[in-house]
Structure 1
Amino acid sequence: MKFKPTYNKKDVEVLTDECLYKGFFEYRKLTLRHKKFSGEWSEPMSREMMVRSDVVCVLLFDPVADKILLIEQFRPAVLKSESPWLLELVAGMVEEGESDEEVARRESLEEAGVSVNRLEYMFKFTPSPGGLVEHIRMYAAEFDSSLVDTSKIHGLDSENEDIKLHLISSDDAIALLKNDVENASTIMGIQWFALNKNDLLARWCV
């Protein structure tokens, strides 16, 4: 089944678009109106939006060893959690002029020290469409886990990255879904993998 929305972007009218702040993130204030399900137009409304670059996430999978490589790093936005060190997929923002594949290969090398072989698109999503302008595109990537040294710390000092590697079996990765994994892209990436592992193996292990 493929969902078809009732309307499209032509059914939204942006009346004003104002930049409130521009730094690492950008904040904009939109005044807009949109078509309602009744066919009428809504009254003008104001919405503040946080804008950031699109992101590519990479689920690193070794189909021969049946292992997945995850990364652990500090995240200040979850200081209220028991621990602000999260288990995540490799990920990075798309810079101007970059392709998703270039981002996936660059970030896999920077954050995990691995070279990616085959790369396969999984899906895309918007993490918080009510107030965050960001698209996250998910990929599965083939790598050789025998070349991974989990004792090494990875990441760029210039970006304050301090990344620890966790190489685990795919079954153990799927079992993480029963626990409190607090990173949305990690949860969704592993869920996709659990549903599509056999098809992925059929394509990669020919």
Structure 2
Amino acid sequence: MTFKPTYSKKDVDVLKDECLYKGFFEMRKLTLKHKKFNGQWSNPMTREMMVRNDAVCVLLFDPAADKVLLIEQFRPTMLRSESPWLLELVAGMVEEGETDEEVARRESLEEAGVVVKRLEYMFKFVPSPGGLVEYLRMYAGEFDSSSVDLTKTHGLDDENEDIKLHLMTSDEAIALLEQDVENASTIMGLQWFALNKTKLVKRWCV
């Protein structure tokens, strides 16, 4: 089955678009109305949205050694959790003029110290469609696990990054889905990997 939305963006009337705050993120306030499923128009409404650049996430996989590389870093938004250190995929925001491939290769080198060979597109998703304007585009990236130095931390000092590497077998990585990983992109990336690993190995091991 292929899903097709009932309406398109042509069925939305933006009456006002205001910038409330602009810093590392941007907060905007829209006043709008939209077509309802009964064919009528909604009443005007206001919605606040946080806007940030799209991002690229990379699940690093060595098909020859059957190893997956994940990273661990501090996230202040997770201070209400038992630990604000999260297990994640390599990821970074897309800057103006950059391609997804350029971001994937740059971030893999900065955050994990590895060079990506082939890239495989997984999917894209919106992390929080109720209030965040951002797409995350997911990729699997081929790398050589023999080049990984687990004794070193990574990341950019001028961005206060302090990143620890975790190298594991693909079975160990997939088994993490039985735990509370607490990171949507990591969960979805590992789920995709669990479903598509066999086909990925066939394509890459040629």
The normalised TM-score by structure 2 is 0.99
1:2 Cα deviation after fit: 2.5
1:9 Cα deviation after fit: 1.0
**Which residue of 1 is the match for residue 163 of structure 2?**
163
Deviations 1:89-124 (A, max 9, x none): 000000000000000000000000000000011000
Equivalent pairs: percent with the same residue?
A: 81
Q: Secondary structure at the match of 2:188?
A: helix
Whole-Å separation in 1 of the counterparts to 2:2 and 2:158? 43
Whole-Å separation in 2 of the counterparts to 1:12 and 1:196? 37
**Which residue of 2 is the match for residue 149 of structure 1?**
149
Structural mapping, 1:77-96, within 5 Å? 77-96=77-96
**Which residue of 1 is the match for residue 130 of structure 2?**
130
Structural mapping, 1:1-16, within 5 Å? 1-16=1-16
1:202 Cα deviation after fit: 1.3
**Which residue of 1 is the match for residue 29 of structure 2?**
29
Deviations 1:161-203 (A, max 9, x none): 0000000000000000000101110000000000111111111
Name the amino acid aligned to 1:130. Answer: G
Whole-Å separation in 1 of the counterparts to 2:101 and 2:20? 32
Larger displacement relative to structure 2 (13-22 or 3-12):
3-12
Structural mapping, 1:41-190, within 5 Å? 41-190=41-190
Whole-Å separation in 1 of the counterparts to 2:64 and 2:106? 23
Name the amino acid aligned to 2:194. Answer: A
Aligned residues: 206
Gaps in structure 2 of 5+ consecutive residues: none
**Which residue of 2 is the match for residue 196 of structure 1?**
196
Superposed CA RMSD in Å reads 0.6
Whole-Å separation in 1 of the counterparts to 2:9 and 2:123? 21
Gaps in structure 1 of 5+ consecutive residues: none
Deviations 1:116-145 (A, max 9, x none): 000011000000001000100000000000
Q: Secondary structure at the match of 1:56?
A: strand
The normalised TM-score by structure 1 is 0.99
